Structure 1
Amino acid sequence: MALAHYDRRKPKPLRCQQLDDCRLDNPEPLKAAVAQLGLNGASVSWVLSPKDYNLLLVEAPAVDEAEMADALRWRVKDMLSFDIEHAVLDFFELPEDAYRGRSRMLYVAVIQQSVSDRIESLVNGAGMALKALLIPELMLIRLKQLEGETLATAVLGLQSPHSLISMVSEGSLYLTRQVDSDVSLLSPDAVEIETRASGLVLDIQRSLDYYESQIGKPPCLRLLVCPQQPGETPLLGQLRYNLAVELVQLDLGEHIDSETPLTPLLQSQAMMAIAAALPEVES
């Protein structure tokens, strides 16, 4: 777990740290960090772990916006392994041009109420207040906005055990998917990389092809990798060799003034927490 705090009044507004051994059933590291940083009473935006929620792509029900949440609960109830009556749900739309004039589509994020309650209990117990539950897919878009580039980009959020691939254009999300990425695949010393990286390379290429052939957008020629990797890793070499795209790395240290040096290691640990702490940018 990582904690990040952004105070735009300060010359170096970002502070962040990795909280080793902090879990929902072990709040002590979070309590200590809150006391150290003077964050008692602060509002918290919590980024969910991929294992804690379902993200479902569904056709939008033909109802008024005021009735959408209830209608979506009915629509997704059979797609879940838990009772929808004990779930928290939110949704966001895809751009109008995402499906060539076909049905309006939505992404629906669903989390068990019990998980939400445990997160809120942890946050409250550390002396803060839970403001929002966020998902990594949307945090990648917030990170991409830092570079100021509006061209269509495949954003690869590298983490273990699941990485994210998101197709983004002009600040809008067109497609997102989770892919397996074992921690050893991300190592600077990874071996047999050509064979072991083939699945990730294929998933990225399929996303690029789908964006062009099924969504009907011009070819995407950029791949933004975040967080910054520790040098030219074997995985980066495979991505450059196998994909006909410009590969760009996002170094958060180039875009954010931080009291804490944003080393590649800390960026990998705290990437999502930093994204959640940043002020929202209107796309």
Structure 2
Amino acid sequence: MSLVLGLEVTPRVVRAAFLRTTLRGSEMERYAEAPLPYSPESESEQSLLEAAVAQVLREGTRAPDRIIASLSGDAASLRLIELPAGVEKKVAEVLPGELGALLPFDVEEAVVDYQVVGRDDTTIQLMAVAAPRQTVANRLRELQAAGADPRELAVGAAAFDGLGALLGESLADKTVLVIDVGPTSTDFAVLTNGRCTFARTVSGGLDLVESGRRGQLGAALQHTFASYKAQRSDAPSLILLSGETAPMESARQWLTEQLGIECGVAPLPPAPGADEEMRPKFTKAAALAARAISRGRQIDLRQGEFASAAAASQIRKHLRLIAVCSAAVILAFSVSLLARYRVARAEHEGLTARLTEVSQDLLIEEAHSALHARELLTAGARIDDPLPRFDAYDVLEGISVSIPADIQHDTRRLLIEIDDEGDNGRFEIQGTVGSIAERDRLVDGLKAHPCFAEVEKGSISTAVADRKDYKLVVRVRCDDTPSKTRKEK
């Protein structure tokens, strides 16, 4: 549970809205204000500001966990910029160059920020702000010296961006103007579906009204409204009046006459410190507090060297909790990953077994991987070689390897008979060797061949030079011998 303080500081008054946020939602806890003496030349003296801030802080039930304040819009430059959609991720680098020629001060000496207000297929529209660094530093120093160190620093009319999160459904699907007539300037903001899409600060406010120059203020508002309509197509249907003049019916009627749109007040949530009539004066303070519950990027001048030290200290304060939570997330992810791996492995083993079975049935060879199966499938089904498993050429080879190398052998006659399958047959060989012993060695060599089942010795006679003519009949049987050659179809 966190307590957020939206702090509005004007030359005449300090207003505060205390918003309590929880995981389930938010609740406005209290409104508070403290007057300041007004001087046209400058804002109130520091001691008076310190006293006013201290007074509104005492109205809270405890010290706020987070303070959100704003810089006056006339101290910064707010404008709409269109960029190509392709540079959205590099806007922070591109934007200073786009703003450089439009600013009355050096962009290198400015704090620059932006928020996206529209987009289409080719472009993105930004609401960009630039404020001199010294101006931002002075504002932060002033607030810190008064006892309020803001976590965020909004700008002028863009501070009303938080109203969308606070008012919810009442701003859904609507475009409304929010006008706050201050002592010396007037904020002019447009909210579409609860998001600020246009913001300007007009010179002159109550000072013009009180000096009888109300028409000058009306002309400035009409000019700003025309500028909005030239840049945005969403037509406002309602004006919400904020600030000191919000409770005045005459002020609301005057705005309706000037801009031609019905004027009312924001339906802020009730809370102690302001009755129904006075509550609209706290619209900006409530909007500042509600930035804490808003989603999306919002303009904040606490950038770079001005980044809030409180944010870093909060991180350090909860570093141990962050570490424990991170470890829990990593552990949960590891367990989940291990479980997924085991499921995937079991599924892989099942699919591999199924692939092995199917490939054996269809491709006559087991495949244990998708790559192997693809190779088999691409090659096509295998068929037996139509040629005999053991033919005459194989017989010749068998005879050749069976004759000892040291024997001089002359073949005189060879008859080979093999059946169509190449399993059975016979061959008859007649030849000449040096002696009967050499004939017997030849017979032993033939018997050693796996397909020469029986060797029948025939007649033997003496040939020329005392050599021996012999005759052998050999049966061929290759029933148990695997095929030597197979062809792929």
Shared fold (TM-score, shorter chain, > 0.5) = yes
1:157 is aligned to 180
Percent of counterpart pairs with the same letter? 17
Identify if the C-alpha distance between structure 1 residues 28 and 73 changes in structure 2 by more than 3 Å, giving closer, same or farther.
Answer: same
1:20 is aligned to 36
For the 8 Å contact 1:34–1:40, the answer to whether it is kept is no
Aligned positions, number: 267
1:276 is aligned to 288
2:274 is aligned to 261
1:36 is aligned to 58
In the TM superposition, what are the counterparts of 1:83-232 in structure 2 within 5 Å? 83-96=106-119, 103-143=123-163, 146=167, 148-150=170-172, 151-184=174-207, 186=209, 195-196=215-216, 198-200=218-220, 202-203=222-223, 206=226, 209-210=229-230, 215-217=232-234, 219-227=235-243, 229-232=246-249
Q: Distance in 1 between matches of 2:218 and 2:254?
A: 8
For the 8 Å contact 1:24–1:119, the answer to whether it is kept is no
Higher relative contact order structure (alpha carbons within 8 Å, sequence separation ≥ 6): 1
SS of alignment partner, residue 45 of structure 1: strand
Greater displacement, 84-93 / 239-248: 239-248
1:63 is aligned to 87
RMSD between superposed Cα atoms in Å: 3.7
SS of alignment partner, residue 87 of structure 2: coil
Q: Distance in 2 between matches of 1:264 and 1:81?
A: 41
Q: Deviations over 1:227-276 (max 9, x none)?
A: 4633321x4333334544333223xxx532332125766854x5423321
Q: Deviations over 1:107-137 (max 9, x none)?
A: 2212222222223333433444331111232
TM-score by length of 2: 0.46
Give, in angstroms, the shift of residue 89 of structure 1.
Answer: 1.5
Give, in angstroms, the shift of residue 83 of structure 1.
Answer: 2.9
Question: Which protein is bigger by CA-based radius of gyration?
Answer: 2
Q: What residue identity is the alignment partner of 1:172?
A: R
Q: Which runs of 5+ in 1 are unaligned?
A: none
Greater displacement, 257-266 / 145-154: 257-266
Give, in angstroms, the shift of residue 206 of structure 1.
Answer: 2.0
Q: What residue identity is the alignment partner of 1:202?
A: Q
Q: Distance in 2 between matches of 1:138 and 1:275?
A: 10
